[in-house]
Amino acid sequence: MTRLLLLAGTAEARALATALAARPEIETLASLAGATRAPAPYPVPTRRGGFGGAAGLAAFLRAARIDLLVDATHPFAARMQANAAEAAGAVGLPRLRLSRPPWAPGPGDRWRRVADAEAAAAALPPGASAFLATGPGSLAPFLARRDLRLALRVVDPTEPPPGRPDLVLVTGRPPFRVEDEIAALQAQAATHLVCKNAGGEAGAAKLLAARALALPVVMIERPAAPETAPRAESVAAALAWIEARLRRGTSG
Query: For binding to ligand NAP (CB under 6 A), which residues are involved?
Result: 7-10, 31-33, 35, 50-53, 56-57, 73-74, 76-80, 83, 135, 196
Distance CA 200, CA 57 (A): 27
Considering the complex, what minimum distance in angstroms separates the CB of residue 40 from ligand NAP? Answer: 13
Q: How far is CA 83 from CA 47, 77, 90, 114, 176, in A?
A: 17, 10, 10, 25, 31
Nearer to ligand NAP, 191 or 218 (CB): 218
Inter-residue contact 17 to 42 (CB < 8 Å): yes
Whether omega for the bond prior to residue 175 falls within 30 degrees of 0, making it cis, is yes
Distance CA 149, CA 155 (A): 20
Considering the complex, what minimum distance in angstroms separates the CB of residue 117 from ligand NAP? Answer: 10
Considering the complex, what minimum distance in angstroms separates the CB of residue 101 from ligand NAP? Answer: 16
Considering the complex, what minimum distance in angstroms separates the CB of residue 153 from ligand NAP? Answer: 11
Nearer to ligand NAP, 10 or 191 (CB): 10
Nearer to ligand NAP, 134 or 188 (CB): 134
Distance CA 171, CA 151 (A): 10
Instruction: Report which DSSP code applies to 76.
Output: T
Nearer to ligand NAP, 79 or 173 (CB): 79
Considering the complex, what minimum distance in angstroms separates the CB of residue 68 from ligand NAP? Answer: 15
How many CB atoms sit inside 10 A of residue 183's CB? 12
Nearer to ligand NAP, 17 or 191 (CB): 17
